[in-house]
């Protein structure tokens, strides 16, 4: 008679490698720290110099505005990758699927901000510097 027992070792999903969790978490932390540095910088900073460089591509100039939503998205991905170590519960797996699609909303916001940063996303020092430059030129 053949053995009909089912091996449970194959249940759940493959685990994400630890390096993927670490790289994603570090990228998220880097993006969030850079966002804080950008908001606290001043008109004489590297960030201002890059933002007002007319020869640079728009995506490069506006990249600081995408750092916070991009960092949140990467942090959500790190959580999802770490969760693969504990997956197997159908309810939590379904919630992680919803979590994945929610993270894409932050990605869309990040890409949108690279092309059209909203006025409210600009730090006070940047808005004041834009006003000063407009007053000088016009």
| Residues 66, 32: Cα–Cα separation, whole Å | 10
For residue 1, the model assigns a pLDDT of: 53
For residue 74, the model assigns a pLDDT of: 97
Residue spans per domain, the chain: 16-137
Contacts 24+ apart (CB under 8 A), 25-33: 25/74, 25/75, 25/78, 27/71, 27/74, 28/71, 28/72, 28/73, 28/74, 28/75, 28/77, 28/78, 29/71, 30/71, 31/67, 31/68, 31/70, 31/71, 31/74, 32/67, 32/68, 32/71, 32/72, 32/75
pTM of the model: 0.83
For residue 7, the model assigns a pLDDT of: 47
Q: What is the mean pLDDT of each run of 10 residues along the chain (138 residues)?
A: 51 78 97 94 89 92 95 96 84 88 96 93 91 87
């Amino acid at each position: 008679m053949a053995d009909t027992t089912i091996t449970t070792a194959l249940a759940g999903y493959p685990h994400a490698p630890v390096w993927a969790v670490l790289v994603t978490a570090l990228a998220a932390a880097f993006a969030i720290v850079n966002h804080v540095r950008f908001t606290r910088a001043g008109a004489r900073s590297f960030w201002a110099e890059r933002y007002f460089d007319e020869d640079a591509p728009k995506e490069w100039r506006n990249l600081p505005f995408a750092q916070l939503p991009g960092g949140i998205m990467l942090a959500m991905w790190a959580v999802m990758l770490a969760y693969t170590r504990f997956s197997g519960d159908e309810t939590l797996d379904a919630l992680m699927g919803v979590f994945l699609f929610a993270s894409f909303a932050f990605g869309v916001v990040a890409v949108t901000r690279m092309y059209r940063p909203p006025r409210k996303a600009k730090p006070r020092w940047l808005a004041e510097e834009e006003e000063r430059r407009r007053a000088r030129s016009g």
